[in-house]
A = this chain, B = another copy of it.
Amino acid sequence: MRTILEAAERVLSKNPAASMEQIAEAAGVARTTVHRRFASREALVDAMSAWATRQFAEAIDAARADTAPPLVALYQATANVLRVKSDWGFAMSRAPSDDPEVIRVHADVEARCERLFRRAHEAGVLRGDVDPAWARRVYYALIHDAIQERDADPDALAARLVDTLLRGVGTGQGLT
């Protein structure tokens, strides 16, 4: 089950037009087995979306974005999000699912991120003359940008991303 979803992600992220046959092969399973579990190609993709969204939510939870010190939370959340977006790039790049649960999760993440940047601003991690909303916009753009670099290690990527962000809008506090 999870095996198939992961194989599908692996194959479809490389070639969105890949056949069920190729997905099955990557999962080490017969094509008919895939069809038995997922009625159609569409059903498979939907299941991938749902699964990826769950992973995404867990990634944010694990970062303790609301309670950990802002800088720590920022690193942690960035690394976790990059890992999920890199592991589930295809599933998450799909047009936003109409599933209300998926929509809710994304709105929730947005809100938490906004709070985190406000906290970072107040804690002096961001320069006082920098609009937290602007910093967040740049942050999003940098995330989007980092995703493009396939194959790279999410932790290293996250470190570089946060360093890059703070070189521009940070105070240099706590960076060593």
The answer, yes or no, to whether A137 is at the interface (CB within 8 Å) is yes
Interchain CB contact (< 8 A) of A168 among B144, B148, B164, B168: B168
Instruction: Determine the interface band of chain A, counting residues with CB < 8 A from chain B.
Output: 10 to 19
The answer for the CA separation of A43 and B135 in the assembled complex, in Å, is 43
Contacts of A138 in B (CB 8 A): 138, 141-142, 168
The answer for the CA separation of A140 and B142 in the assembled complex, in Å, is 9
- Copies of this chain, count: 2
CB nearest to A148 among chain B residues: B144
The answer, yes or no, to whether A35 is at the interface (CB within 8 Å) is no
The answer, yes or no, to whether A17 is at the interface (CB within 8 Å) is yes
The answer, yes or no, to whether A114 is at the interface (CB within 8 Å) is no
Contacting B at CB under 8 A, from A89-134, are 130-131, 134
The answer for the CA separation of A167 and B130 in the assembled complex, in Å, is 8
The answer, yes or no, to whether A16 is at the interface (CB within 8 Å) is yes
Contact with B along A159-176 (1 / 0, CB 8 A): 000001001110000000
Interchain CB contact (< 8 A) of A144 among B17, B130, B134, B141: B141
For this complex, 15 residue pairs linking A to B, each with C-beta atoms less than 8 Å apart, are: A16-B16, A17-B17, A134-B164, A134-B167, A137-B145, A138-B141, A138-B142, A138-B168, A140-B145, A141-B141, A141-B142, A141-B145, A144-B145, A144-B148, A168-B169
Interface residues of A (CB under 8 A from B): 16-17, 130-131, 134-135, 137-138, 140-142, 144-145, 148, 164, 167-169
Per CB-CB distance, the 7 closest pairs between chain A and chain B, nearest first, are A141-B141, A141-B145, A141-B142, A134-B167, A138-B138, A134-B168, A144-B145
